[in-house]
Every structure is written in structure tokens, then in C-alpha cells.
Amino acid sequence: MVSFIKMQECYGAQHDNEMSFGQLINNPLLINSQPPLERDVMLDNMKAGIEWHNNMVRLCASYVSDGLGLEETLERFKGVTLSGYTEHQTVTQITTAYYGAKRKGFDKTASGSTEVDKKPPKTEEPILQWLHQIPDTEPEFLVEGMVERNSLCLVFGKPASGKSFFAVDIGASVATGRSFQGLAVQQGDVVLIVGEGGRSIKRRFRAWAKHHNMNSDDIRVMVSRSAVNYRDEQAAEKLSSELDEAVENGLRPVLFIIDTLARNYGGGDENSNTDMGKFITVLDQFNTRFDCATLIVHHSGHADSSRGRGASSLKGGLDTEFSCTKERDTVIVQCTKMKDSEEPEDLKMRLKPVELGIAQNGKPISSAVLVRDDEVSIRQTITKANARDLKTFHEAARELGTEMKLGDVLLEKTVSLDNWRQVFYRRSTGDSPEAKRKAFERARKSLVQKGFLEVSDDIYMLKLLDAGQAGHDPDN
């Protein structure tokens, strides 16, 4: 067991760079005779944001050596939340350092016991609280309007649709603090669990860095060497343990990226709601434990490319979902679910080639990066969901709205919001009024955003397009 005196010797000196327990203890050059830790000074420095992480780790080690419990240790750190951190993030950092100190042997009371091996409790707070005790907060986005903190997100698309480039773009933007396609980001470290495309992942980040005139070594992303079967408890625990150790060494994760769901699903049945439910539960646990968001890269359905593949419980468990489609060199990302916020506008981007050098065989090494292009004109197609929703619009227009024709040519078709809602609810299969309301809101927004309908003062009008598109009445 490492003595507290040894710990004092190691931690006595101030260092410019943050270091882990192992780095400091195992480096004999750092061992010197220093006075005891000045805890009050260190706490004041933390409040001032001076070497916050270094001071926090050293103080945790000293409190553990004194035999303090976690609650007592957290009490000592009151009022030291680092600027830009939430209180929950601060508690998570301190809790990780506290149990790290126990594992490193700083607990004098643990001699001959297995206390140092105990896992930290998932929460030290009561399960229940009163409504008025919940603080009023606004959504905290990692990517403005798109990816919320501590949320479960997914992007799906066909093979070679650009969905992995989209994930790399978000990951690199968050890891560097650079805006994502013009949208503000909250900077933090990123953990990428690669199940496929591992050989090309470094090239994609290098291409992103070159395009943005940055050094790829400055992109704070940790990448897995292989896929992780999240539904296997041992595999999930191993990943969690490695993340704990990485956090001790300075990792500050805000985003997990899983590419792809299939490769990290462990061979289970993607169509099983039970198997999928377990997968989602584990991801939620990782989000809560590390106060992160998770972005899953997924394949579209075999028969219906307008939805993600597999069990219906997957979409039900998501906070946000995006579809990714590609037309020639244009990549279009559209929001297909946004649980608690306004759906963002469609992203229209081009895949721009980036030359990275010359291989030994003389051939060029290249990758690509996404570049926003709002001038792209997207040819919309009617999905099965769009067709079903338009059918209720046509029915409402015939029953309660207006239709203007010149012979057999349709000139105009309009219906009020209330009248359309009435017919939609009548045809909806939703099992509650709230479910029907949400379904109608999604249908209304989607049809307007995709350009099938226009709206003015709650009057919806069919936008007449080319024959066979939105102007087609399925019942005529």
C-alpha cells in the first residue's frame, strides 16, 4: 500500500500539466521533500479555477488517506464547481477520483479488507424528490439544436450514405470546440466505439483537420480497438472500467459515438424489442454515469429505407433521430424525431475529397469531409408515412375544406388546421389523445418542411408539384 507520506512527497510540487496517480507515483524525478498539503489554499485555487483537476485529485487522495467517506469528501468540495461544468459533472469527477484513490491504495483503513475493490454506488442521492426541488433548466445542447447533453441520438442511412462522415464531423467539432456546419458546439472529449471502418477512421479525422487547418493530434477523441458488445455485462463493465481510468488521467467525455449499432450489438436479434431494450438501457446507464450524450450510427431498414432497421423499441427509446441520404455527392441529413425540442432544419452538405499524401506504391491517399451547401436543391420523395399523412389531408379537404378544379385539373386544395386535425385523429392508430397529438404534430411539420404543404394563418394548402409527387391525390 502506498503511504500517505509518499503521496505527500509526490503531490507536494505544483506541475503545469495534469497527471494521474500512476504518473506521479511512478516518476522518481517528482519525489522531493515538500511541506504538507495546504488544503484550504488548494480549495481556494479550485474555486479560482487554478489547476482545478490537479488540486481535486490530490485532495481526494488525502481525504481517502484520512478515512473520509464519499459523502464527507463531497461535502469538503462544496462550492468548487469549475466554470463550464455543471454540479453533476463536478460530483462525477470527484467521485471517480475518490474511488481511484482507493484502488491506488491511499485508504489506510482498507488494510486486509476488500473495501478498495468495491464499486462506486451509481448515486448517493435519494430516489425521490418533490417537483419544486427540480431546478428549472433550459436544454443543454452539445450541438446547437441537434444533440442535447445526456441524450440518446441516432443517425441511420443506407450503406455509403455519408452517415459515418456525419458522425466524424460532429465528433471532431465537439472534441475541438469548432462549430459544426455553422452550429455552435459545447467542447469536450469524445469516445468513438468503432465496429467497422476502423482502418479508415484516422484518415477521416486527418481529412477533417486538414480541411479546417488544424492538427489532427489536437482532436481529443479516444477510439476503440474493436467493437464492444454492450449487451454483455462483462464487456460493458470492462469498457466502464477503462473509462474510469481514463477519466482519472484527464479524459472529460461529453459524447460517445457508436459506429455501427449492428457491430456493437453482440449478434443479438435486432428485431427483438427485449434485446433492443437491454441495449438501450445500457447506453442510458453510460450516459448517466459519465453525463454524456450518445450518437449511434445505424443502417436503414431493408424494406423501408425511411426508418432505422430493427425493433420498434429502438426509435421509442431515442431522444433524437436523423436520417442520412445521399444523391450523387450531396448528403442530406433530416431530423425524423426530436423528443423535447423544435426539430432542426435539414442539413444539405457535399462530400469534398481531401488529399492526405502519397502511398509507398505511388498512389494518392485521400479521404473526404462534409461541407455545407444550402444552395443544393433536394428532390423530395414521398415516404410511406408521408403518403399516409397526406391521405388524411386530402380526406379533410374533401369533407371540410375547399377544392378548386378546372375540368380534371386540380388548381387548389386547402383545409384548416382544426379540420385536418379532426380527420387525422379519426384515422390515427394512437392509443391515447397525447399519442395522436404528437403524431399529428410530426406529420404536419414534416409535410411542410419537405415542401408538400404550405401554411398561412393555420390554413394548409397543397403545394402543387410535378405529376406523381405531392399533388397526387391517392384516392383519385
Kindly report the number of other CB atoms within 10 A of residue 73's CB atom.
20
Residue where a domain terminates, one of 340, 372, 404: 372
Same domain, yes or no: 368 and 388: no
Same domain, yes or no: 367 and 388: no
The amino acid at residue 216 is S
Query: Does a structural domain hold residue 468?
Result: no
Same domain, yes or no: 367 and 327: yes
Provide block-wise average pLDDT over 10 residues at a time, the chain (476 residues).
Answer: 42 42 40 61 87 86 87 87 75 79 72 44 70 83 93 95 96 96 94 79 95 94 94 92 92 95 88 92 93 95 85 92 90 92 89 92 92 67 81 88 66 86 90 88 84 85 52 44
Same domain, yes or no: 81 and 174: no
3-state secondary structure of 24: helix
Query: What pLDDT score does 51 carry?
Result: 84
- Of 353, 346, 315, 309, nearest to 331 by C-alpha is 346
Range of the domain at 163: 141-372
CATH code, domain carrying 457: 1.10.10
Gap between the terminal Cα atoms of the chain: 82
Same domain, yes or no: 209 and 332: yes
Write the CB contacts of 305 (distance below 8 Å, at least 6 apart in sequence).
158
Query: b/e per residue, 369-394, with b = 16+ CB within 10 A?
Result: bbebeeebeeebebbebbeebbbbbb
Same domain, yes or no: 182 and 222: yes
431: which 3 cell numbers? 392509443
Q: How far apart are CA 291 and CA 88, in angstroms?
A: 8
Q: What is the count of structural domains for the chain?
A: 3
Query: Does a structural domain hold residue 29?
Result: yes
Write the CB contacts of 198 (distance below 8 Å, at least 6 apart in sequence).
223, 225, 226
Q: What does pTM read for this prediction?
A: 0.60
Residue where a domain terminates, one of 335, 351, 372: 372
Beta bridge partners of 355: 366
Query: Does a structural domain hold residue 126?
Result: no
CATH code, domain carrying 319: 3.40.50.300
Query: Does a structural domain hold residue 467?
Result: no
3-state secondary structure of 229: coil
Query: Does a structural domain hold residue 132?
Result: no
Query: Does a structural domain hold residue 218?
Result: yes
Same domain, yes or no: 151 and 110: no
Query: Does a structural domain hold residue 378?
Result: no
Same domain, yes or no: 312 and 400: no
Query: Does a structural domain hold residue 134?
Result: no
Same domain, yes or no: 83 and 190: no
Q: How many helices (H) and strands (E) does the chain have?
A: 14, 15
Same domain, yes or no: 150 and 271: yes
Same domain, yes or no: 283 and 360: yes
Contact 55, 27 (CB under 8 A): no
Same domain, yes or no: 51 and 11: yes
